[in-house]
Amino acid sequence: MSKFLSESWLVLVMAVVFAGLLAGTQTALTPAIERNKRAALEAAVFDVVPGAVRFEEQSVGLYTVYKCFDDKDRFVGWGIPHADFGFQDKIRLVVGLSPDGATVTGLKVVENTETPGLGNKIEADEWRGQFAGLDAGSPVKVVKKPRTDERHEIQAITGATISSEAVTKIANRVLTDVRPKLLERE
């Protein structure tokens, strides 16, 4: 027992030192991480609202939305971030809406940890491009075969149906929860 105690001090000291190093690193990097997340969110808003060069952050119920304007200060649409769980973990995305809220102008995945090579294809321009032009007044459906209704359907990613459905569920939540509140304001 005394041999164990006499040798365990090194393990305890190393644990305290490494814990301190990890805590210090986390503290030092947190501002940079937050800046990077904010920059990614802003870039996504500009990506999903065509013509937007600036935005105003607003609160709509529990949601934060971005009212977007072009270079002549005309209102060009809404950028609405939201997150929910996918197959692996949370998926964070931004949905773009036209100024009248009638049409989805785009969708951009900001953060995900879906399966590499399968579920993370939700970030691909080709797949997410299916959302642009969808009717925002109706729920979006995921289909496994090629789309037959280009105003209400998106085609699932082969082998990643859960991730495809998770993104669609998040987009539908934005359309059903936030969109009506935006229309009441305008």
Residue-level pLDDT at 27: 86
Distance CA 96, CA 94 (A): 7
Task: Go through the chain and tell me how many residues it has.
Answer: 186
Residue-level pLDDT at 94: 95
Average pLDDT, the chain: 87
pLDDT exceeds cutoff 70 at 186: no
CB-based burial label for 76 (10 Å; 0-12, 13-18, 19+): buried
43 SS3 class: helix
Distance CA 27, CA 23 (A): 6
Digit-coded pLDDT (tens) for 91-129: 899 999 999 989 999 999 998 777 777 777 888 889 889
Beta strand segments in the chain, E: 54-60, 63-69, 75-85, 90-97, 104-111, 141-143, 153-155
pLDDT exceeds cutoff 70 at 5: no
Digit-coded pLDDT (tens) for 60-90: 888 899 999 999 999 999 999 998 887 878 8
pLDDT exceeds cutoff 80 at 149: no
